[in-house]
Structure 1
Amino acid sequence: MTNSSKRLFFIDAIRAWAILMMLQGHFIDGLLDTAFRDDSNVGYSIWKYFRGITAPVFFTVSGFIFTFLLVKGKDGQGFNNPRVKKGIKRGLELLFIGYLLRTNFMGLLNGQIYPSFYIVDVLHCIGLSLLGIIGIYLLTYRKRNLVFGLTLSAIAIVLFLFEPLYKQWGFSFLPQAFANYVTKANGSVFTIIPWFGYAALGASISLIFNKLRDRNYFFPLTIASLLAIGFALIKLSSPFFLSISEATGIKLFSDIFYNNYLFIRLGDVFVVFAIFMVLERLLQNRTLLKIGQSTLSIYVVHFIILYGSFTGLGLYRFFHHSLNPYVAIPGAIAFMYISTYTALKYEDHKEEIKTQIAKGTEFTMKQIEFAAIYSYNTIKPRIIRLLRRFGLAKN
């Protein structure tokens, strides 16, 4: 890739890798028998570590690609930027799909909304993160991208630093549907705090790429910087916070030391970025890039198959924590292939499918309208006769 290339192919490759990692991670985590979850097993511990990288990478890349496109255009600033309206629409769409996937139609037919409907997951948080990035952009765009980037980075660092404090808050004063966005007490898988931090940092990094990527030696210097910062965060951030705690006596820093997953995972993200930038020329496979551009469809398909959206009849219901590794591993590979293949086929025929759905919806509405008119014309004479009998209508 030349520095002047309009598309950053390594970002699509990272997205493809992250979504595939997520597919196998959800499958193994949900279906592998607990008897085989042994942290002393080298294979399992390696898998567990890499599974933990997936979500931070996914959030960071989402913030990166959205903000890169948001500030790249020259069509306008603020609300005049067409990416703002598209971003708001996309954010709301992700929130809607997130709730839709947790809807059980059988329960709705019985007049019930199950508590799982209100659980917040990755789509909710990414959707809300996009809206948050747009909000910060609208507040700072008049002061140039430097203020935008510094604000995003500052918010991320604050969220990461104070996570030991706010993770203990119950937020019981909020309705559960809203509390689920900020606490895992009710079963939420992700919460907007601290996960917005990764999206915000991805957004701030994209501003650097947007401004400097055409400069000579930008990519080699960026790769070296990402590797240096990444390994420093992985290896040195915990001792750093411990030393601050010992020097100041502030308990917050020791709490970070004992559960320093946010900064270590950020280091992992930087290393992943650097590796994919190095390998970019080898990763420009058409199918791989298409997977990276179809992550939402893949996510939706995998959620339906694994968790049984709409019906509750998914693999999770029948094989939850029941498979041994000899079944789970090939099963995960098959699951990745089926989910990805189905989603890509949908992408190939998306416009046709949408057209057919629109036609089907229009036909259904016409049938309902016809039935309503027919019913009204059928019942109308009877109503008039009844009203005449009681003297409520003229002959």
Structure 2
Amino acid sequence: MKDNKYRLYFVDAMRAWAILMMLQGHFVDGLLDNAYRDNSNLAFSIWQYFRGITAPVFFTVSGFIFTYLLVRGDQQGFENPRVKKGIRRGLQLLLFGYILRLNLFGLLKGEIYSTFYLVDVLHCIGLSILGIIGIYLFSSTKKKFVLPLILFSTTIILFVLEPQYKFMDHIYLPDMLANYFTKANGSVFTIFPWFGYATFGAFLSLIFTRFKDSRYLYPVAITTAFTTGFGLILYSSIFVNYLAQTTGLQLFAELFKNNYLFIRLGNVLVVFGVFMTLRRFMLNSTVLKIGSSTLSIYMSHFVILYGSLTGLGFYAFLHHSLSPYIVIPGALFFMIACVYSALKYEDNKVVIKSKAWELAQQFTANADPWITFSYRLIKDTLFKVKVTIIKLFRLVKN
């Protein structure tokens, strides 16, 4: 493995952990029988708590990695090559998000099902990348403190105002757009408040970039992550309640009732602290490869579990029907299958893309005569129909 003193291997390991947690979380949640979903059961409660950490970690790490690469060079604004790459990446994630929700059988019938318009993780991460690029471009001509200030403020504002906007259904928007802002139609994620975790990750990456050469970077970062993380977990609700009683604002009272965003932010910081502490043990090439192949793993899991494109996945046949004795080993095999297939694809990605391009060209070449024939046939048929209609109208007129 090539050594790179500026590469943060613990972040790659965090991303690998997050994607594996997502795989088992989706499998267990989708297939476990409702009879075993008992919050009084300690094992189930622990699993459920850690499952709730997965998405915040994934969004935070995504914002961290993208911004860390974005600001590394000396070029600013549109001159930064990472801007164009980021825009392509963001649009690519949006495209893949919609492709995974297509149903080929529906397309053959000329239908696009309503689930196609629902918003999921890929949509939100893609849009978050575009949002971070927008903030970066806006602040590129301003003082250095403006970018981290905007990123941090965005997180705080989105989290504090969440009680105000989470129940809005945005009926004035088309469903395709409204689904980015409301779960009323069935979207799993919405851009708000999840963009707040991405901007917080971007904010953390700026701190690491600023102090990357400091000998005290990790001791200070680890101490701060644990202190702030446990502080948010244990005391953020108390502080919000204090603000509610002091100011009398209903906003803080509503936030206190469901203060999950700041608590989860504390969880994210604790996870950062753990992985930074164990960073010397996270140089395994397979782990790092998993961390850099999360998109392929996510897409393979969507096809296998949810039956993307065909509708023929485990979820369709085994939804909420299995016992823990089957789900737990099944989740392990599912994780292995998704990771193995994704890594095999990554190893042969160039060859697979080359073969796919060749097949597309061959299909186009072979289909060209048929396309030309079909075009002429349709054109001649339409002309004959037109002549027939004209004659018919003349006959009626006479």
Question: How many residues are aligned here?
Answer: 381
Amino acid in structure 2 at the alignment position of 1:41: N
Paired residue secondary structure (2:169): coil
Aligned to 1:360: 359
Counterpart in 2 of 1:169?
168
Equivalent-residue separation in structure 1 for 2:28 and 2:104 (angstroms): 27
Q: Are 1:4 and 1:214, in contact at CA under 8 Å, matched by a contact in 2?
A: no
Whether 1:286 and 2:320 are equivalent positions in the alignment is no
Q: Distance in 1 between matches of 2:151 and 2:221?
A: 20
2:294 is aligned to: 295
Superposed displacement of residue 249, structure 1: 1.4
Distance 1:379 1:252, change over 3 A: closer
1:376, 1:108 → 2: CA distance?
Answer: 22
* Per-residue deviation, residues 2-56 of structure 1 (Å, max 9, x unmatched): x981210000000000000000000000000001000000000000000000000
**TM-superposed deviation, 1:379:** 11
Aligned-pair CA distance for 1:169: 1.2
CA distance in 2, matches of 1:248, 1:144: 33
Report if aligned partners of 2:307, 2:315 keep a CA contact under 8 Å in 1: yes
Q: Distance in 2 between matches of 1:103 and 1:379?
A: 29
C-alpha offsets along residues 273-292 of structure 1, whole Å, 9 cap, x if unaligned?
01000101111111000000
Displacement of 1:144 in angstroms is 3.9
Q: Per-residue displacement from partner, 1:309-366 (whole Å, max 9, x unpaired)?
A: 0010000000000000000000000000000000000000000000000101111111
Contiguous gaps of at least 5 residues in structure 1: 383-395
Write out the 4+ residue segments of structure 1 that deviate beyond 6 Å after TM superposition.
374-382
Q: CA deviation at 1:145?
A: 3.6
Q: Given the two structures, how large is their TM-score scaled by the length of structure 2?
A: 0.93
Contact 2:6–2:212, Cα closer than 8 Å, also in 1: no
TM-superposed CA distance for 1:374, in Å, is 6.3
CA distance in 1, matches of 2:337, 2:289: 15
Q: What is the identity, as a one-letter code, of the residue corresponding to 1:98?
A: G
Residue 77 (structure 1) aligned with residue 76 (structure 2): yes
For residues 250 and 374 of structure 1, the distance between their equivalents in structure 2, rounded to whole angstroms, comes to 71
**Structure 2 CA distance, aligned partners of 1:18 and 1:91?**
20
> Structure 2 vs 1, CA of residues 375 and 247 (structure 1 numbering), >3 Å: closer, same or farther?
closer
Q: How does 1:220-239 map to 2 (within 5 A)?
A: 220-239=219-238
**How far apart, in 1, do the equivalents of 2:53 and 2:91 lie?**
26
Q: How does 1:274-353 map to 2 (within 5 A)?
A: 274-353=273-352
Distance 1:93 1:180, change over 3 A: same
In structure 2, the CA distance between the partners of 1:379 and 1:50, relative to structure 1 (3 Å rule), is closer
The amino acid of 2:127's aligned partner reads L
Partner of 1:251: 250
Give the C-alpha shift of residue 376 in structure 1: 7.8
Give secondary structure in 2 for the equivalent of 1:72.
coil
Indicate the SS of the match to 1:214.
Answer: coil
Aligned pairs for 1:151-166 (under 5 A) are 151-166=150-165
Partners of 2:203 and 2:274 lie apart in 1 by 19
1:14 is matched with 14
Deviation at 1:305, TM superposition (A): 0.2
Contact 2:128–2:191 (CA under 8 A) maintained in structure 1: yes
SS at match of 2:188: coil
Across the aligned residues of Structure 1 and Structure 2, the Cα RMSD in angstroms comes to 2.0
Q: Distance in 2 between matches of 1:345 and 1:210?
A: 33
Q: Cα 1:141–1:370, aligned 2, differ >3 Å: closer, same or farther?
A: same
Label 1:377 to 1:195 Cα distance change in 2 as closer, same or farther (>3 A).
closer
Alignment of 1:260-279 (within 5 A): 260-279=259-278
Q: Please state if 1:43 is matched with 2:46.
A: no
* In the alignment, structure 1 residue 179 sits paired with structure 2 residue 148: no
Q: Which residue of 1 aligns with 2:384?
A: none
After superposition, what is the alpha-carbon deviation per residue over 1:42-82, rounded to whole angstroms, capped at 9, x for unaligned?
000000000000000000000000000000012x2111110
Bigger mean CA offset, 90-99 vs 212-221: 212-221
**Amino acid of the residue matched to residue 263 of structure 1?**
F
Percent identity of the aligned residues? Answer: 59
1:112 equivalent to 2:111? Answer yes
Residue number in structure 1 paired with 2:60: 60
Match of 1:29 in 2: 29
Q: Quick check: 1:370 aligned with 2:369?
A: yes
Cα displacement string for residues 138-194 of structure 1 (whole angstroms, at most 9, x for unaligned residues): 100111442111101111110000000101211111111000000000000000000
Separation (CA, whole Å) in 1 of partners of 2:331 and 2:130: 33
Change (3 A) 1:111 1:274: same
Matching of residues 92-171 of structure 1 within 5 Å: 92-171=91-170
Query: 1:250: how far off?
Result: 1.1
Q: What one-letter code is carried by the residue in structure 1 that aligns with 2:328?
A: I
What CA distance in whole angstroms lies between the structure 1 residues aligned with 2:35 and 2:379?
Answer: 69
Distance 1:256 1:381 in 2: 67
Residue-by-residue CA offset, 1:100-139 (whole Å, 9 max, x unaligned): 0000010011111111101100000000000000001110
User: How far, CA to CA, are the matches of 1:91 and 1:375 in structure 2?
Assistant: 38
Name the CA distance, whole Å, in 2 between partners of 1:59 and 1:149.
17
Q: 1:377 to 1:237 in 2, by over 3 A?
A: closer
Distance 1:377 1:265, change over 3 A: closer
Q: Distance in 2 between matches of 1:320 and 1:188?
A: 18
Mapped partners of 2:355, 2:290: distance in 1? 24
